[in-house]
Every structure is written in C-alpha cells, then in structure tokens.
Amino acid sequence: MSSVEYITYKGILLPQMDYSFENLNQMENEFQILDDDVINITYPKSGTNWMSEILGLISQKGDPTWTHSTLVWDRSPWIETNGGLQRALKNPPPRLLNSHVPFQLFPKSFLQTKAKVIYTLRDPKDVLISLYHFSMILKTLKYPGSLQEFLEEFLSGNVIYGSWFDHVKGWMELKGSPNFFYITYEELLQDLRGCVEKICQFLGKELSSQQIDSVVEYASFQKMKENKKSNFSELPDHVMDHKKGRFMRKGISGDWKNHLTVAQNEHFDRVYRENMRGMNNTFPWD
Ligand code: PPS
C-alpha cells in the first residue's frame, strides 16, 4: 500500500524522511542542552503543539506576534529531526525545544544542566486514534491499515517513537526532580488557565492576569486552528495530504469511544494494566 520507509535507531522506529542515524547520534551524544532551555517532551499526538503554543506565548508574555509569524518547528524545533537539530543550534537562547524521543535517547548533556522539562501525557487510547488519523494524512508515516491492525502495532510499540508505555515509564522516572514538570492533555482541556498558571510558576515567569488571559485565548483550539504557523497548513503537499484531513482534527478527550469496539477497549485495558503495573501514578484516564 505504501512505499514509506522507517529507520530503526536503537530499537526505535522513525520515519526515514528528515531523520538519519548521523543526526540522531549527534543529538544524543554531542548536542548541548543549555541551562535556560525549556524542553517540551511528549509521546506523539499528546499535545506537543498545544504545549509549544502555550510556551511560546508565555515567553512573549501573551503577545501572539511571534507565534503568528514564525512556524512552530522554527520556534521550538524537534531536535531529533535533521532540520530541527540545525535550527536548534541556530536559535538564540533562551531556547524552546521539542522532542518525542524516549528518555534513553535524549541528549546525554541534559543531565548536567538545569534545563526545564515539561512532559505532557494524554490518554493513550486518544493518542492511538489521533495517530491513526494522522498516519493517513502525513506522508512520512506508513499507511496504518485497519484500526485493528494499528491497535496491535501501537500496543506492541511497533510504531514511530516506540512504545507509549516505555516512553511514559522512562520520562516519569524524573518525577520529583526540580527541573521536571508533568501535566496531562486532559488537565489542559479542563482548566487551561489553571495549567498556564502552574506552568508559569514552574518556569519562574511572572505574568499579569491579562497576559495570562491572552495566553489562554491564543492557545485555544479555535485560535490555533486559525494560526497558519501552528496548524500545519504550510506543510507542503508532498509531506501532508491536506485534502484528506487536518492536523487540528478534533481536540477533545474520549474520541476513542467513537472508534474502539468493546472487545478492542477491553484488550487495550488488559495490555495497559500489564504494562503499567508497579507505576505509582494515577492519571485522569485511569
Ligand atoms: S504531533 O504531530 O505528535 O506533534 O501532534 P501533537 O501536537 O502532539 O498532538 C496533536 C493533537 O493535539 C490536538 N490539539 C489540541 N487540542 C486541544 N486544544 C488545542 N489548542 C490543541 N492543539 C492541538 C490536535 O487536534 C490533535 O488531537 P486530535 O485528537 O487528533 O484532534
């Protein structure tokens, strides 16, 4: 069905387009994380671009000029991609960086810094559905097949960036360290203002009430959907099939209920329980 190729870097599948062993090795072993970097970490489809918009707006005290004039991957480059790493090397500090890589592949230099990490998680069933739809429109991703087939690949970690379970377990090991903050997509949906306040507190940013209102306004689903620099509409047609769907798809929680059968849901729950055993965290979807 599709001629898209993936590479496997240290057991992790990644699209061949815009990823290379050389770049990944440079990111992991040579790239210097700086003390004032703010790093947005997520498993794909967990709210990366939403958090990126929030962080971009916070950095500008709510002024949307920057987020409306500079593409999201230039504002906060994904350091594991070829283009993203080069961009990160050029951006002046304090930098915003994005990454989907599991903890074990993240730049080794990070552990010697005070750089701040924000880890955003989302109900993995919604991640599955969002990734399934995205795989049909982003041409760098393999055609996902049926939802049943894709569900099996997702649960066994045979998808880009590897297993959701391993990603969460790896990054959540940092819980409790002063430069690590985690939040869920569901909390952002429920109380965006409260979350923005908490993020500001973590970053040591003092914004006025009006400035926070502005962050909340411009990070809303509707405003981001209209923002050409954040809604992926500027991705060329050979990378994204704009006729088949949109990056800003639904922006809700619980969409999995519209897609998974009772049997698929029960199967997901069983695999989830087996994989998350021993993790002492409770998430909104548990
Ligand atoms: S990616 O491709 O991995 O970087 O995608 P990511 O940004 O992590 O996740 C995309 C999903 O986030 C939704 N989204 C939002 N939801 C609510 N509010 C805002 N402002 C917002 N911005 C992005 C986007 O619609 C994708 O979810 P689905 O479920 O597909 O709609």
Question: Which residue has a Cα nearest atom 14 of ligand 1?
Answer: 251
Beta-carbon contacts of 125 under 8 Å, excluding residues fewer than 6 positions away, are: 256, 260, 265, 268, 285
Any catalytic annotation for residue 100?
Answer: yes
The greatest distance separating any two alpha carbons of the chain, rounded to the nearest whole angstrom, comes to 53
Question: Residue 200 C-alpha to ligand 1 middle, in angstroms?
Answer: 21
Give the angle subtended at the CA of 255 by the CAs of 72 and 271, to the nearest 5°.
100
Q: What is the pLDDT of residue 116?
A: 98
The list of the chain residues with pLDDT below 70 reads 1-2
Q: Is 120 in the pocket of ligand 1 (CB under 6 A)?
A: no
Q: What is the pLDDT of residue 2?
A: 57
Name the residue type at position 123: D
Q: What is the pLDDT of residue 3?
A: 80
Give SS3 for 185: helix
According to DSSP, the β-strands at 6-9 and 12-15 are antiparallel
Question: Residue 40 C-alpha to ligand 1 middle, in angstroms?
Answer: 14
Q: Is 248 in the pocket of ligand 1 (CB under 6 A)?
A: yes
Q: What is the pLDDT of residue 237?
A: 96
Residue of 68, 100, 133, 242 marked active site: 100
Q: What is the pLDDT of residue 280?
A: 85
Tally of CA atoms within 13 A in the half-sphere of 106 that contains its CB: 25
Q: Is 284 in the pocket of ligand 1 (CB under 6 A)?
A: no
- Domains delineated in the chain: 6-276 (3.40.50.300)
| 146-162: pLDDT as tens digits | 999 999 999 999 999 99
| 93-152: pLDDT as tens digits | 999 999 999 999 999 999 999 999 999 999 999 999 999 999 999 999 999 999 999 999
Give the angle subtended at the CA of 58 by the CAs of 115 and 138, to the nearest 5°.
80
Pocket test residue of 42, 49, 53, 75 for ligand 1, highest count of atoms within 8 A of CB = 49
Beta-carbon contacts of 147 under 8 Å, excluding residues fewer than 6 positions away, are: 132, 259, 260, 264
Question: Residue 152 C-alpha to ligand 1 middle, in angstroms?
Answer: 22
Ligand 1 atom with the shortest distance to the CA of 42:
8
Dist CA 45 CA 42 (whole Å): 8
Burial class (CB in 10 A: 0-12, 13-18, 19+), 215: buried
